[in-house]
Amino acid sequence: MVATPSAPGIRPGSYNHGRLHTGGTTVHGPTTHRGGGRHCWRVIDVNGLTKRYGAKTAVDNLSFTVRPGHVTGFLGPNGAGKTTTMRVILGLDAPTTGTTTVGGVPFRSHRRELRHAGALLDAQQVHGGRSATAHLWALARSNGIPRRRVTEVLDEVGLTDVAGQRVGGYSLGMKQRLGIAAALLGDPPVLVFDEPVNGMDPEGVLWVRRLFRRLAAEGRTVLLSSHLMSEMANTADELVVIGRGRLIAAEPVHSFAARSTRPSVAVRTPQADELATLLTAAGAQVERSGPACLVIVGLPAERIAELAFDNKILLHELTVRTGSLEEAFMRLTADSIEYPAGLPG
Protein backbone atom coordinates (compact mmCIF):
# COMPACT_ATOMS: atom_id res chain seq x y z
CA MET A 1 0.00 0.00 0.00
CA VAL A 2 1.24 3.44 -0.82
CA ALA A 3 1.99 5.53 2.23
CA THR A 4 -1.07 7.23 3.60
CA PRO A 5 -0.57 10.95 3.91
CA SER A 6 -1.62 12.60 7.12
CA ALA A 7 -3.40 15.45 5.33
CA PRO A 8 -7.09 15.70 6.09
CA GLY A 9 -9.52 14.38 3.55
CA ILE A 10 -9.89 11.11 1.81
CA ARG A 11 -7.48 8.31 2.40
CA PRO A 12 -7.53 4.78 1.07
CA GLY A 13 -9.94 2.81 3.17
CA SER A 14 -10.73 5.88 5.19
CA TYR A 15 -14.25 4.76 5.77
CA ASN A 16 -14.24 1.03 5.68
CA HIS A 17 -10.78 0.02 6.88
CA GLY A 18 -11.71 -3.50 5.98
CA ARG A 19 -14.71 -3.32 8.24
CA LEU A 20 -18.04 -3.42 6.59
CA HIS A 21 -20.41 -5.18 8.89
CA THR A 22 -23.34 -6.77 7.19
CA GLY A 23 -25.41 -9.27 9.02
CA GLY A 24 -22.66 -10.11 11.45
CA THR A 25 -20.05 -10.94 8.82
CA THR A 26 -17.08 -8.72 8.18
CA VAL A 27 -16.43 -7.99 4.55
CA HIS A 28 -13.30 -6.49 3.12
CA GLY A 29 -13.92 -3.66 0.74
CA PRO A 30 -11.81 -3.35 -2.38
CA THR A 31 -9.75 -0.52 -1.00
CA THR A 32 -8.40 -2.64 1.79
CA HIS A 33 -6.23 -4.99 -0.16
CA ARG A 34 -3.85 -7.00 1.90
CA GLY A 35 -0.85 -9.09 1.07
CA GLY A 36 1.14 -6.32 -0.60
CA GLY A 37 0.49 -7.54 -4.12
CA ARG A 38 1.02 -5.35 -7.14
CA HIS A 39 -1.62 -3.02 -8.45
CA CYS A 40 -2.90 -5.19 -11.28
CA TRP A 41 -6.49 -4.78 -10.14
CA ARG A 42 -6.24 -1.01 -10.40
CA VAL A 43 -5.15 -0.85 -14.01
CA ILE A 44 -7.40 0.48 -16.74
CA ASP A 45 -6.69 -1.43 -19.91
CA VAL A 46 -8.00 -0.45 -23.33
CA ASN A 47 -7.24 -3.08 -25.91
CA GLY A 48 -7.93 -2.64 -29.61
CA LEU A 49 -11.05 -0.62 -28.90
CA THR A 50 -13.19 0.41 -31.83
CA LYS A 51 -16.54 2.10 -31.38
CA ARG A 52 -18.75 2.99 -34.30
CA TYR A 53 -22.03 4.86 -34.14
CA GLY A 54 -23.67 4.01 -37.42
CA ALA A 55 -21.24 5.02 -40.15
CA LYS A 56 -19.19 7.24 -37.85
CA THR A 57 -16.12 5.74 -36.24
CA ALA A 58 -15.64 7.50 -32.93
CA VAL A 59 -12.75 5.37 -31.69
CA ASP A 60 -10.49 3.42 -34.01
CA ASN A 61 -8.41 0.48 -32.75
CA LEU A 62 -7.30 2.27 -29.61
CA SER A 63 -5.01 0.62 -27.08
CA PHE A 64 -3.47 2.05 -23.94
CA THR A 65 -2.98 1.27 -20.29
CA VAL A 66 -3.54 3.56 -17.34
CA ARG A 67 -1.51 2.62 -14.28
CA PRO A 68 -2.04 3.42 -10.62
CA GLY A 69 -0.04 6.01 -8.72
CA HIS A 70 -0.14 8.60 -11.47
CA VAL A 71 -2.48 11.23 -12.77
CA THR A 72 -2.97 10.26 -16.37
CA GLY A 73 -4.15 12.99 -18.69
CA PHE A 74 -6.38 11.88 -21.53
CA LEU A 75 -6.00 14.49 -24.20
CA GLY A 76 -7.46 15.18 -27.56
CA PRO A 77 -9.29 17.91 -29.39
CA ASN A 78 -13.07 18.01 -29.16
CA GLY A 79 -14.54 15.06 -31.01
CA ALA A 80 -11.37 12.99 -30.71
CA GLY A 81 -13.24 10.20 -28.94
CA LYS A 82 -12.28 10.83 -25.32
CA THR A 83 -15.78 10.72 -23.90
CA THR A 84 -16.68 7.70 -26.04
CA THR A 85 -13.60 5.86 -24.75
CA MET A 86 -14.49 6.72 -21.17
CA ARG A 87 -18.06 5.59 -21.68
CA VAL A 88 -16.88 2.24 -22.98
CA ILE A 89 -14.41 1.91 -20.09
CA LEU A 90 -17.27 2.60 -17.67
CA GLY A 91 -19.53 0.02 -19.28
CA LEU A 92 -22.09 2.53 -20.54
CA ASP A 93 -21.50 1.82 -24.22
CA ALA A 94 -20.63 -1.56 -25.66
CA PRO A 95 -17.48 -1.63 -27.80
CA THR A 96 -17.93 -2.47 -31.48
CA THR A 97 -14.71 -4.50 -31.27
CA GLY A 98 -11.94 -4.74 -28.72
CA THR A 99 -12.09 -4.81 -24.95
CA THR A 100 -11.69 -2.51 -22.01
CA THR A 101 -11.03 -3.70 -18.50
CA VAL A 102 -10.77 -2.09 -15.12
CA GLY A 103 -8.74 -4.15 -12.71
CA GLY A 104 -8.55 -6.98 -15.24
CA VAL A 105 -12.29 -7.42 -15.67
CA PRO A 106 -14.87 -5.70 -17.85
CA PHE A 107 -16.54 -2.91 -15.90
CA ARG A 108 -19.98 -4.45 -16.22
CA SER A 109 -18.92 -7.68 -14.54
CA HIS A 110 -19.42 -5.90 -11.21
CA ARG A 111 -22.98 -5.50 -10.07
CA ARG A 112 -22.10 -2.59 -7.78
CA GLU A 113 -19.26 -0.41 -8.81
CA LEU A 114 -18.71 2.59 -6.55
CA ARG A 115 -16.19 0.71 -4.44
CA HIS A 116 -14.24 -0.33 -7.52
CA ALA A 117 -14.30 2.83 -9.55
CA GLY A 118 -15.68 6.32 -9.33
CA ALA A 119 -16.47 8.48 -12.29
CA LEU A 120 -17.54 11.96 -13.24
CA LEU A 121 -18.70 12.07 -16.84
CA ASP A 122 -20.74 15.24 -17.10
CA ALA A 123 -21.38 17.43 -14.09
CA GLN A 124 -24.61 18.74 -15.62
CA GLN A 125 -26.10 15.25 -15.52
CA VAL A 126 -27.81 15.53 -12.17
CA HIS A 127 -31.44 15.95 -11.25
CA GLY A 128 -31.87 19.68 -10.65
CA GLY A 129 -34.73 19.22 -8.20
CA ARG A 130 -32.73 17.23 -5.68
CA SER A 131 -30.34 18.41 -3.01
CA ALA A 132 -26.70 17.38 -3.11
CA THR A 133 -27.26 15.28 0.00
CA ALA A 134 -30.20 13.40 -1.52
CA HIS A 135 -28.30 12.84 -4.78
CA LEU A 136 -25.27 11.40 -2.99
CA TRP A 137 -27.30 9.47 -0.44
CA ALA A 138 -29.28 7.69 -3.17
CA LEU A 139 -26.04 6.73 -4.91
CA ALA A 140 -24.43 5.60 -1.67
CA ARG A 141 -27.49 3.61 -0.65
CA SER A 142 -27.54 1.69 -3.93
CA ASN A 143 -24.03 0.49 -3.18
CA GLY A 144 -24.54 -0.21 0.51
CA ILE A 145 -22.26 2.69 1.50
CA PRO A 146 -22.98 4.17 4.95
CA ARG A 147 -24.67 7.55 5.31
CA ARG A 148 -21.74 9.23 7.07
CA ARG A 149 -19.70 8.77 3.93
CA VAL A 150 -22.00 11.31 2.23
CA THR A 151 -21.12 13.88 4.90
CA GLU A 152 -17.43 13.06 4.47
CA VAL A 153 -17.32 13.56 0.71
CA LEU A 154 -19.45 16.72 0.92
CA ASP A 155 -16.92 18.06 3.37
CA GLU A 156 -14.06 16.96 1.15
CA VAL A 157 -15.34 18.90 -1.86
CA GLY A 158 -16.44 21.91 0.19
CA LEU A 159 -20.17 21.68 -0.44
CA THR A 160 -21.27 21.11 3.17
CA ASP A 161 -22.84 24.56 3.50
CA VAL A 162 -25.00 24.19 0.37
CA ALA A 163 -25.66 20.45 0.69
CA GLY A 164 -29.35 20.97 1.40
CA GLN A 165 -29.96 23.25 -1.58
CA ARG A 166 -31.36 22.17 -4.93
CA VAL A 167 -28.62 21.13 -7.31
CA GLY A 168 -30.41 23.03 -10.10
CA GLY A 169 -29.27 26.26 -8.47
CA TYR A 170 -25.59 25.27 -8.43
CA SER A 171 -22.99 26.84 -10.67
CA LEU A 172 -21.12 24.55 -13.06
CA GLY A 173 -18.13 24.65 -10.74
CA MET A 174 -20.27 23.50 -7.80
CA LYS A 175 -21.76 20.75 -9.93
CA GLN A 176 -18.24 19.63 -10.81
CA ARG A 177 -17.50 19.42 -7.09
CA LEU A 178 -20.67 17.41 -6.56
CA GLY A 179 -19.68 15.06 -9.38
CA ILE A 180 -16.25 14.61 -7.81
CA ALA A 181 -17.93 13.91 -4.46
CA ALA A 182 -20.03 11.22 -6.12
CA ALA A 183 -16.93 9.66 -7.68
CA LEU A 184 -15.23 9.55 -4.27
CA LEU A 185 -18.22 8.01 -2.43
CA GLY A 186 -17.01 4.43 -2.59
CA ASP A 187 -13.39 5.37 -1.80
CA PRO A 188 -12.45 3.62 -5.05
CA PRO A 189 -8.99 2.68 -6.29
CA VAL A 190 -9.83 3.82 -9.83
CA LEU A 191 -11.12 7.28 -10.70
CA VAL A 192 -12.22 8.58 -14.08
CA PHE A 193 -13.05 12.24 -14.70
CA ASP A 194 -14.25 13.73 -17.98
CA GLU A 195 -13.30 17.42 -18.25
CA PRO A 196 -13.51 17.97 -14.48
CA VAL A 197 -12.05 21.48 -14.53
CA ASN A 198 -14.65 23.07 -16.85
CA GLY A 199 -16.49 25.86 -15.16
CA MET A 200 -14.28 26.00 -12.08
CA ASP A 201 -12.87 29.23 -10.73
CA PRO A 202 -9.07 29.54 -10.31
CA GLU A 203 -9.30 28.55 -6.67
CA GLY A 204 -11.33 25.48 -7.66
CA VAL A 205 -8.81 24.57 -10.35
CA LEU A 206 -5.97 24.66 -7.82
CA TRP A 207 -8.02 22.63 -5.36
CA VAL A 208 -8.92 19.98 -7.90
CA ARG A 209 -5.33 19.73 -9.11
CA ARG A 210 -4.10 19.11 -5.58
CA LEU A 211 -6.88 16.59 -5.02
CA PHE A 212 -6.00 14.60 -8.14
CA ARG A 213 -2.33 14.57 -7.25
CA ARG A 214 -3.12 13.41 -3.74
CA LEU A 215 -5.46 10.67 -4.97
CA ALA A 216 -2.70 9.44 -7.28
CA ALA A 217 -0.13 9.67 -4.49
CA GLU A 218 -2.38 7.40 -2.45
CA GLY A 219 -1.81 4.76 -5.10
CA ARG A 220 -5.03 5.23 -7.01
CA THR A 221 -5.44 5.20 -10.74
CA VAL A 222 -6.58 8.64 -11.87
CA LEU A 223 -7.63 9.20 -15.47
CA LEU A 224 -8.80 12.64 -16.42
CA SER A 225 -9.65 14.00 -19.81
CA SER A 226 -9.18 17.47 -21.16
CA HIS A 227 -8.89 19.24 -24.45
CA LEU A 228 -6.49 21.74 -22.91
CA MET A 229 -2.85 20.72 -22.89
CA SER A 230 -1.93 23.62 -20.60
CA GLU A 231 -4.25 22.19 -17.95
CA MET A 232 -2.77 18.71 -18.24
CA ALA A 233 0.82 19.95 -18.16
CA ASN A 234 0.20 21.18 -14.63
CA THR A 235 -1.70 18.18 -13.35
CA ALA A 236 -0.78 14.97 -15.12
CA ASP A 237 2.38 12.88 -14.99
CA GLU A 238 1.34 10.57 -17.79
CA LEU A 239 -0.35 11.42 -21.06
CA VAL A 240 -2.57 9.55 -23.44
CA VAL A 241 -3.13 11.69 -26.51
CA ILE A 242 -5.68 10.76 -29.13
CA GLY A 243 -6.89 12.40 -32.31
CA ARG A 244 -9.73 11.28 -34.55
CA GLY A 245 -10.20 8.22 -32.39
CA ARG A 246 -6.62 7.03 -32.77
CA LEU A 247 -3.70 6.95 -30.37
CA ILE A 248 -1.10 9.65 -30.97
CA ALA A 249 1.02 9.30 -27.87
CA ALA A 250 1.07 7.45 -24.58
CA GLU A 251 4.02 8.42 -22.43
CA PRO A 252 5.10 10.51 -19.45
CA VAL A 253 4.50 14.24 -19.78
CA HIS A 254 8.22 15.05 -19.63
CA SER A 255 9.16 12.76 -22.48
CA PHE A 256 6.22 14.00 -24.53
CA ALA A 257 7.44 17.53 -23.88
CA ALA A 258 11.04 16.63 -24.67
CA ARG A 259 10.29 15.18 -28.04
CA SER A 260 7.49 17.42 -29.12
CA THR A 261 8.55 20.89 -28.08
CA ARG A 262 11.42 21.38 -30.48
CA PRO A 263 13.32 24.54 -29.66
CA SER A 264 14.08 26.64 -32.73
CA VAL A 265 16.25 29.66 -33.43
CA ALA A 266 15.16 32.59 -35.55
CA VAL A 267 17.91 34.48 -37.31
CA ARG A 268 17.79 37.71 -39.32
CA THR A 269 20.77 38.32 -41.52
CA PRO A 270 21.54 40.08 -44.82
CA GLN A 271 23.59 37.00 -45.81
CA ALA A 272 20.74 34.55 -45.41
CA ASP A 273 21.69 32.29 -48.32
CA GLU A 274 25.28 31.98 -47.17
CA LEU A 275 24.29 31.18 -43.58
CA ALA A 276 21.63 28.71 -44.67
CA THR A 277 24.20 26.71 -46.64
CA LEU A 278 26.60 26.70 -43.68
CA LEU A 279 23.97 25.62 -41.20
CA THR A 280 22.62 22.89 -43.44
CA ALA A 281 26.16 21.59 -43.80
CA ALA A 282 26.44 21.60 -40.02
CA GLY A 283 23.39 19.36 -39.79
CA ALA A 284 20.60 21.83 -39.02
CA GLN A 285 17.21 22.03 -40.64
CA VAL A 286 16.78 25.49 -42.08
CA GLU A 287 13.63 27.15 -43.22
CA ARG A 288 13.27 30.54 -44.94
CA SER A 289 10.64 32.58 -43.19
CA GLY A 290 11.39 35.80 -45.12
CA PRO A 291 13.96 37.30 -47.49
CA ALA A 292 16.44 37.84 -44.64
CA CYS A 293 14.98 35.48 -42.05
CA LEU A 294 15.77 31.89 -41.22
CA VAL A 295 14.26 29.49 -38.71
CA ILE A 296 16.72 26.84 -37.61
CA VAL A 297 15.99 23.60 -35.85
CA GLY A 298 18.63 21.18 -34.67
CA LEU A 299 21.44 23.53 -33.68
CA PRO A 300 21.74 25.52 -30.47
CA ALA A 301 21.87 29.31 -30.69
CA GLU A 302 25.50 29.39 -29.46
CA ARG A 303 26.64 27.13 -32.29
CA ILE A 304 24.78 29.23 -34.87
CA ALA A 305 26.40 32.40 -33.52
CA GLU A 306 29.85 30.76 -33.60
CA LEU A 307 29.38 29.61 -37.19
CA ALA A 308 28.25 33.07 -38.24
CA PHE A 309 31.16 34.72 -36.43
CA ASP A 310 33.74 32.30 -37.88
CA ASN A 311 32.43 32.99 -41.39
CA LYS A 312 32.06 36.75 -40.93
CA ILE A 313 28.34 36.70 -41.39
CA LEU A 314 26.55 39.64 -39.86
CA LEU A 315 23.56 38.79 -37.69
CA HIS A 316 20.88 41.39 -37.00
CA GLU A 317 18.87 39.16 -34.76
CA LEU A 318 19.20 35.84 -33.00
CA THR A 319 16.20 34.63 -31.03
CA VAL A 320 15.66 31.31 -29.27
CA ARG A 321 12.08 30.09 -29.48
CA THR A 322 10.78 27.34 -27.23
CA GLY A 323 7.63 25.67 -28.47
CA SER A 324 4.97 25.32 -25.78
CA LEU A 325 3.40 22.02 -24.88
CA GLU A 326 0.12 23.46 -26.13
CA GLU A 327 1.64 24.14 -29.57
CA ALA A 328 3.11 20.65 -29.68
CA PHE A 329 -0.24 19.18 -28.83
CA MET A 330 -1.99 21.25 -31.50
CA ARG A 331 0.59 20.27 -34.07
CA LEU A 332 0.30 16.59 -33.18
CA THR A 333 -3.45 16.47 -33.18
CA ALA A 334 -3.84 18.64 -36.27
CA ASP A 335 -2.88 15.67 -38.36
CA SER A 336 -2.95 12.47 -36.40
CA ILE A 337 -1.91 10.20 -39.26
CA GLU A 338 1.60 11.61 -39.58
CA TYR A 339 2.46 11.05 -35.96
CA PRO A 340 1.91 7.41 -35.17
CA ALA A 341 1.88 6.28 -31.60
CA GLY A 342 5.06 5.85 -29.68
CA LEU A 343 7.43 6.96 -32.44
CA PRO A 344 9.76 9.80 -31.55
CA GLY A 345 8.95 12.91 -33.58
Partner 1 sequence: MTAVLPVEPPIHFRDLVAAEWIKLRSQRSTPWMLAIAAVVVTGSAVVAAHADYANFPRYSPADRLTHSFSLSDAFPLAGGLMLMVIAASTGAATIVGEYSSGLIRTTTVAVPARGPVVLAKAVMTATFWTLAGAIICAVSFAVSQAILDGRHAGVSITSPGAFTAFVGATLLAPVCAVVGLGLGVLIRHSIATTVTAIVTLVMLPIFLSTQHRLTAEIHHAMVFSAWQRLTEAYGPPEVESAHVQAGQLIPGLYPSLSEAWISYAAWPLVALLLAVLVVRRRDV
Task: Return residues touching partner 1 (CB under 8 A).
Answer: 20, 22-23, 27-35, 37-38, 40-41, 87, 90-94, 104, 107-115, 117, 119, 121-122, 124-131, 134-135, 137-139, 141-144, 179, 182
- Which residue lies nearer to partner 1 by CB, 143 or 324? 143
Give rounded-to-5 percent helix, strand, coil for the chain: 35, 25, 40
β-sheet bridge partners, residue 200:
none
Cβ at position 138, least distance to partner 1 in Å: 4
- Maximum Cα–Cα distance for the chain, whole Å? 89
Smallest separation, CB 131 to partner 1 (Å):
7
Nearer to partner 1, 154 or 250 (CB): 154
Radius of gyration of the chain (CA): 25
Assign 306 to helix, strand or coil. Answer: helix
Compare residues 23 and 202 and give the one whose CB is closer to partner 1: 23
Task: Specify the residue, 122 or 338, whose C-beta has the smaller distance to partner 1.
Answer: 122
Classify burial at 183, counting beta carbons within 10 Å of its beta carbon; exposed 0-12, middle 13-18, buried 19 or more: buried
Which residue, 20 or 297, is less far from partner 1 as judged by CB?
20
Cβ neighbours around 262 below 10 Å, total: 16
Nearer to partner 1 (CB atom), residue 130 or residue 213: 130
Query: Are 114 and 31 within 8 A, CB to CB?
Result: no
How would you label 129-142 residue by residue, b for 16+ Cβ within 10 Å and e otherwise?
eebbbbbbbebbee
Please give the Cα distance from 278 to 306 (Å, whole number): 11
What is the closest distance, in whole angstroms, from the C-beta atom of residue 39 to partner 1 in the complex?
A: 8
- 194 vs 72, 122, 123, 290, CA distance in Å? 12, 7, 9, 43
CB of 64 to partner 1, least distance (A): 20
- In the complex, the smallest distance separating the C-beta of residue 282 from partner 1, rounded to whole angstroms, is 55
The nearest distance, CB 40 to partner 1, in angstroms, is 6
